[in-house]
Amino acid sequence: MDIELRDLYDENRNNTGEVVAKNSPIPEGRYYITVMVFIQNSKGEFLLQQRSQSKGGQWATTGGHPKSGETSLQGICTEIAEEIGIKVKPNELVLYKTIKTEDDFVDLYYLKKDIDIYSIKLQAEEVQNVAWYTISEIEEMIKTGRFFKWHIEEYRTCLEYLNNV
């Protein structure tokens, strides 16, 4: 199996030409890209995926990291295709926010699309289930610890974005 590589960036998001293997420590002063997408249907529900048991089994949104050589947009398209088997066109996605953390740039995307969840092909090592959830159902998942804690801030940022469009 090939080792998955990620590009490294400086604090201004300039590609440094350096790469790091997936799950390797990030050198000080370097950053990587994280991508997430919030998919909403015409009923206002969000498509969530239940992470595999090996990843804790909580509900989350689709996301990951672009592979070396991929742009952020290409990376999120790859993640959507790999994790839930849905092909999306880059022009269907809206990049609505980037959050800079201590070691990455998190690009948040929004996709308005009605998807038949029965046509979804899950990446078993990453995802065990998918379902549509309302905002109130997601809020309950957050309260009860069933929503992946590292996606809560990004979810709330998506709701802010949607309230302002």
Q: Where are the domains of the chain?
A: 34-96+104-163
pLDDT in tens, 114-164: 999 988 999 888 899 999 999 999 999 999 999 999 999 999 999 999 999
**Looking at domain 34-96+104-163, which CATH architecture does it have?**
Alpha-Beta Complex (3.90)
The pTM of the whole model exceeds 0.85: yes
What would the pLDDT profile of 28-72 be if each residue is shown by its tens digit? 999 999 999 999 999 999 999 999 999 999 999 999 999 999 999
C-alpha to C-alpha distance for 119 and 121, rounded to whole angstroms: 6
* Strand (E) or helix (H) holding 156: helix 152-163
Distant-in-sequence, close-in-space partners of 76: CB < 8 Å, separation ≥ 6:
35, 36, 37, 63, 66, 93, 107, 109
Q: What is the pLDDT of residue 1?
A: 55
The DSSP symbol for 6 reads: E
- For the chain, list the strands marked E by DSSP: 5-9, 15-21, 32-40, 46-51, 59-60, 62-64, 94-100, 104-112, 127-133
